[in-house]
Amino acid sequence: MSTPVIGVLALQGDVREHLVALAAADAVARPVRRPDELAEVDGLVLPGGESTTISKLAVLFGVMEPLRARVRDGMPVYGTCAGLIMLADKILDPRSGQETIGGIDMIVRRNAFGRQNESFEAAVDVKGVPGEPVEGVFIRAPWVESVGAQAEVLAEHDGHIVAVRQGNALATSFHPELTGDHRVHSLFVDMVRAYRTRESL
Ligand SMILES: NC(=O)CC[C@H](N)C(=O)O
């Protein structure tokens, strides 16, 4: 079967790092900004960055509704940090004008890991990622306050939920794209492959 084509929403944030990680995980990776570009990918990554900025730019570029429609349709999507916030059905402390794509029945708290600890690294055991724990890079990271019945918690740190999956939507508070360890991206590429196989049956 041909290689899956995975987009990275390229409005703001660490787009290039995700493109590199996806290519290393055997996907064809390309930036996505416009609805016509979104229509051409089999799956999408929502990068880390600043979730209010990404939200406002998505509305401005006319891509917010098409994003919601594709996520509703079941397109695999993976959000890191700000991307996790974009996938939350509800933000506890949204900034004014901040919207989300939604897709995961969870409530998130932005910048939850606190000021004095704005950035840190910690070993995180992620369900579905075989072998050693993943090196979790947390940068002004959100945590997930609670999840609904459909969402599966994949990892916790310090008693807080930091990785979640619901159907074809995957989200982590931390940034595997910054570590050179591509196992989480490989998990996502596998989700995209499985989705394509189902779609073509
Ligand atoms: N590293 C990140 O993506 C930070 C997310 C940022 N704190 C936000 O609220 O969007």
In this prediction the ipTM stands at: 0.94
| CATH superfamily of this structure's domain 5-199 | Class I glutamine amidotransferase (GATase) domain (3.40.50.880)
The domain ranges of the chain are 5-199
C-alpha–C-alpha distance, residues 177 and 67, integer Å = 22
- Of 125, 178, 179, 195, nearest in space to 155 by CA: 125
| Reported pTM | 0.96
Q: What is the mean pLDDT of residues 94-123?
A: 92
Residue 95 labelled as part of a binding site: no
Residue 51 labelled as part of a binding site: yes
3-state secondary structure of 81: coil
C-alpha–C-alpha distance, residues 164 and 134, integer Å = 15
C-alpha–C-alpha distance, residues 169 and 151, integer Å = 9
Span from the CA of 80 to the centroid of ligand 1 (angstroms): 9
- Ligand 1 atom nearest residue 53's Cα: 10
3-state secondary structure of 147: strand
- The residue type found at 127 is K
Is residue 117 pLDDT above 70, yes or no? no
Is residue 172 pLDDT above 90, yes or no? yes
pLDDT interval class at 114 (50, 70, 90) = confident
What value does the mean pLDDT of the chain take? 96
Q: What is the mean pLDDT of residues 121-127?
A: 98
CA-closest residue to ligand 1 atom 1 = 139
- Ligand 1 atom nearest residue 139's Cα: 1
Is residue 116 pLDDT above 90, yes or no? no
